[in-house]
Structure 1
Amino acid sequence: MDHGIQANSSESNPSQGHVSHLALDIGGSLIKLVYFSRKNDVSVDNKEEKSSKETVLVSNGDGKCPVLHGRLHFAKFETSKINDCLEFIQRNQLHLGGFQHHGVPGSEKSIIKATGGGAYKYTDLFKEKFGIFLDKEDEMDCLVAGANFLLKTVNEEAFTYTNGHKDFVQIDHDDLYPYLLVNIGSGVSMIKVDGDGKFERVSGTNVGGGTFWGLGRLLTKCKSFDELLELSHRGNNRVIDMLVGDIYGGMDYTKIGLSSTTIASSFGKAISDNKEIEDYNPEDIARSLLRMISNNIGQISYLNALRFGLKRIFFGGFFMRGHAYTMDTISVAVNFWSKGEAKALFLRHEGFLGALGAFTSYEKHGFDDSIVRQLVQKSPVSASHAGYKIHGPLNGERNENESIECSVYVN
C-alpha cells in the first residue's frame, strides 16, 4: 500500500519535526489524511531566498520576519483497510497533534477534525484506539473550503488536459467566482461555488468512481481501483463500444456533427457479437467502462454549468488519479457539448479537497494556533503580500507521494 508520504527527502519524515493539525476525510472508498509538520523556527532577511526545494518571499517592511518552515503532507488508504490507516497514524504519532476540545485546558477530549460519512461510522474506533474525539465537519463545507484553499494558495494547481497535453491555468483571485465544482468520489456531487462559504449543491449523479470500481470488479476480477485503472490503460474500447461508423458503414454523420469514431452506444457491440464475458479481454472492458462513466460525468457537468451560465468547471475527487485517459475523456465531453465554449479544469491535489477543508476548519472554530490561521488568511498572490508560498514538484507533475513545502510568516 502506498501511504502517500514523500520518500525522496528526509525532511518529509514527520518524526523529524513537530506534527500538528491532522485532518481526515473518511469516505466510502478511501480515507484521505492531511497534516502539517514544521521545522524549527528561523528568521530570514527581507529578500527572496531560493534553494532547490523552496522559494521564500518575505515582504514585511524593514528587518526580519519569523518564519515557520514545514510541509503539508498527504496520505490515502482504502476505507476497507482502515486498520492500515490507524497503524500509520500511530507509527508516525499523528494523533498527538490534536487539540483540547474548544481550547479548554484540562479537557479530556483531544480532538481531530474529520469529515465524510466515516467520521460518524468510525468515531468510536478512533476513540478506543487513540482516545481522541473526531470533531465532525460538514462534507460539502469541507469540499468547497478545500477547493478555495488550493485555488487561492497553490501555484500551478489548476490545469487543462487535452490530447495528452497539460496546460496550467493562472487563477485570477478577483475573478474566481462563480464556478462549478464537480467532486467525483464514490458518487458525484456538483456544487455551484459563489464565494468563501457560499455554495449550493445543484446536482449530482450516482454513476461515479464507486460505479467504475464496482462494475469493474465484477466484470474483470480486479482487486483494486488502481489495478482497474492500469488495466484500462492497455485496453481498446472500440472492441466493445458501438461507434457511429459501425452504424453508418464507417462514415461520419456530418449533418448532426458526429464523427465516425463517436461512441453511439457504450458496450453496444456486445449485443450482436454473440460472445460470453470470458471471450472479451478485461483490458477492453475496463477501457469501455471508464470511457462510459467519464463521458457521462463530463456531459452532466457541462449541462449543469450551462444552467447557471458558468464557463469554469473544476473537477476534483480521487476518481481521476491524474489518469491521462480519464481527464482527456472528460475534457473532450465538456468541449463537445459546449461547442468549445467551456473548459474542464483539473486539480493537482484533486483527492484531498475534503481533508484540506477539514484542516482549515481548525481556525474557523477558534482554536488558538497561529499555523492554520496564517495558512488560511495569507495568500501568496505576489511578493507584496506577507504570507507563505506553497510549492509542488518542480516538474509540475503530481504523484501520490507528494507533500507541499510551506513557509508561514508569523506576524
Structure 2
Amino acid sequence: MEIGNLENHVQSEPMEESSQAQISHLALDIGGSLIKLVYFSQNSDGGCSKSSVQVSNGNEGGPVLQGKLHFAKFETAKIHDCIDFIQSKQLRVTGCQHNGASANEKCVIKATGGGAYKFADLFKEKLGICLGKEDEMDSLVAGANFLLKSVHNEAFTYMDGQKEFAQIDQEDLYPYLLVNIGSGVSMIKVDGPGKFERVSGTNVGGGTFWGLGRLLTKCKSFDELLELSHRGNNRVVDMLVGDIYGGTDYKKIGLSSTAIASSFGKAISDNKELEDYKPEDISRSLLRMISNNIGQISYLNALRFGLKRIFFAGFFLRGHAYTMDTIAVAVHFWSKGEAKAMFLRHEGFLGALGAFMSYEKHGFDNLMVHQLVQQSPSASHGGDKTHGPADSELNDNPSINCSIYLS
C-alpha cells in the first residue's frame, strides 16, 4: 500500500483517483478545529496478488492488497464541505451495499475525536451512515506506533534551520512521550502497543493560537495567521532579557539578552493601542509564546518519567519551521541538551490513521500488521536546509510504499 501525498491546505483537493479505483475504508478524526480524513483506494487491477515479498513476520506468499492511502483535512466549522467531499468522491463505506450487502444493512465508518459524538446525527442525516466511535487516545497512540515502527524516515529533528531524520531503533522505541498539539495539547506516555497513559496536557494549544490570533489580527483562518507570522518580528511586542538589563545577558542564570522575559511584555510600557502594532508582529509573538510553552511543559513531563524521546504531532505544527524550531530550542534549553524534540512527517493524521486501522471483519483483519514498508525514492532525506520564509514549510508530502497482507 502506498501512503499518498498529504494535503497542505484546508479543503485542498486530494490526489486524482483512477476511474477504476475502488475507494473504501474511510476513517475520520473530527476535532474541535479540524476534521482529518483518511481513505484507501485499491489499484485499478483489484490490488490483490500472490506475488511473494519479504515481510518481517515471514508471512510470504499470501494475498496482497495494494493501493493508496489518501489524506485530506477540513475546518470543523465547515463540516458540510467534508460531507460534500465524501459524497462527491463516492467513497464506498465498509458494510454499505457492496460485497452482497443489502440496502438495509447498517453503514458504519470509523471515527474518533469529540466530533464523532457531536456530529453523529448529522452524518446519519446527510449520508445515511453511522459513525463507529473509536477512543481518541487509543487512535492517537495506534497511529503513532504504526508510523514510528513501519514508515522509514518518519521522525526527524529540526533546529537552526537543519532537518535531520532520526533512525528509530525498533527494539528501543518504548517508552516515549507523545505530545499531540491540536486545539488543546495532550501529553501521553507510551509504554507499548495499547499501553499508554495521558500524563499531562495544557489548554494553551492550536485553538489558543487561532482564537487569540483572530481576535488580535482579524485573520480568518489558521493558515492565514501562520503565513502572517512569517513576516513578523516578535521583538517589537515581547519584552526581552536585554530590555530589562540594558542590552546585556543575565549570564549567572544562563539567559541571553535575546531571551524572552515576558511575552507581549512591551505592550505594558509602550504608549500604543492595538491598532498601532503590526498584525504580523502580534502573530509572531503569539506563535512564539505558545510554542515555547508547549516545549517547556513537554520536557518537564518527560523529566518526570525519565524519558529522553519526545515526539510532537498535530496540525498546530503544519511542518512550520519557526514553530518546530521554537519547540526544539525550548526542549534543548530546559534539558541542557540531554533531550531532543522529534517531529513526524504525517503529524496531523495520527488519530485518523489509528481509527482507520481499527477496521475488522471486512478483509482488513490484520491491516497494518503484516507489511513491507519502503520509502519512495522521491522523498527527501536528511540534511535539508531552510533559507527563509519561502522554504520554511517542511511538510514535504512524503509518499510511502508498502504492501498489506490479508489473512
TM-score in same-fold range (> 0.5): yes
User: Aligned residues: percent identity?
Assistant: 73
Which letter maps to 1:395?
S
2:85 counterpart of 1:91: no
Which letter maps to 2:291?
S
Counterpart of 1:304 (choices 298, 301, 305) is 301
Find the residue that maps to 2:86 and give its secondary structure.
Answer: helix
Find the residue that maps to 1:99 and give its secondary structure.
Answer: coil
Counterpart of 2:38 (choices 28, 34, 39) is 34
Which letter maps to 2:380?
N
Alpha-carbon spacing, 1:61–1:306, altered in 2? closer, same or farther (3 Å): closer
Which letter maps to 2:69?
L
Instruction: Assess if the C-alpha contact under 8 Å between 2:379 and 2:399 holds in 1.
Output: no
2:247 counterpart of 1:250: yes
Q: How many pairs were matched up?
A: 384
Aligned CA RMSD, in angstroms, stands at 2.6
Unpaired runs of at least 5, structure 2: 1-8, 382-392
Find the residue that maps to 1:147 and give its secondary structure.
Answer: helix
Instruction: Assess if the C-alpha contact under 8 Å between 2:10 and 2:75 holds in 1.
Output: no
Alpha-carbon spacing, 1:75–1:243, altered in 2? closer, same or farther (3 Å): same
Alpha-carbon spacing, 1:251–1:30, altered in 2? closer, same or farther (3 Å): same
Q: Which moved more, 1:387-396 or 1:182-191?
A: 387-396
Q: Which moved more, 1:127-136 or 1:389-398?
A: 389-398
Instruction: Assess if the C-alpha contact under 8 Å between 1:6 and 1:402 holds in 2.
Output: no
Alpha-carbon spacing, 1:393–1:188, altered in 2? closer, same or farther (3 Å): farther
Q: Which moved more, 1:396-405 or 1:300-309?
A: 396-405
Instruction: Assess if the C-alpha contact under 8 Å between 1:73 and 1:404 holds in 2.
Output: no
Match of 2:363 in 1: 369
For residues 285-333 of structure 1, the C-alpha deviation after alignment (integer angstroms, 9 at most, x for no partner) is 0000000000000000000000000000000110000000000000000
Alpha-carbon spacing, 1:21–1:300, altered in 2? closer, same or farther (3 Å): same
Match of 1:202 in 2: 199
Match of 2:167 in 1: 170
Deviation at residue 3 of structure 1 after TM alignment? 3.7
Alpha-carbon spacing, 1:399–1:203, altered in 2? closer, same or farther (3 Å): same
**Structure in which a larger fraction of residues adopt helix:** 1
Match of 1:407 in 2: 403
Which letter maps to 1:19?
I
Deviation at residue 389 of structure 1 after TM alignment? 3.8
Alpha-carbon spacing, 1:63–1:320, altered in 2? closer, same or farther (3 Å): closer
Which letter maps to 1:293?
I
Counterpart of 1:188 (choices 185, 188, 191) is 185
Distance in 2 of aligned mates of 1:207 and 1:339 = 24
Q: Which moved more, 1:62-71 or 1:111-120?
A: 62-71
Distance in 2 of aligned mates of 1:203 and 1:111 = 33
Deviation at residue 406 of structure 1 after TM alignment? 3.5
Match of 2:270 in 1: 273
For residues 195-237 of structure 1, the C-alpha deviation after alignment (integer angstroms, 9 at most, x for no partner) is 1110000000000000000000000000000000000011000
Find the residue that maps to 2:256 and give its secondary structure.
Answer: coil
For residues 113-147 of structure 1, the C-alpha deviation after alignment (integer angstroms, 9 at most, x for no partner) is 00011111111111111211101011111111111
Find the residue that maps to 1:13 and give its secondary structure.
Answer: coil
Distance in 2 of aligned mates of 1:141 and 1:264 = 38
User: Aligned ranges for residues 233-244 of structure 1 at < 5 Å?
Assistant: 233-244=230-241
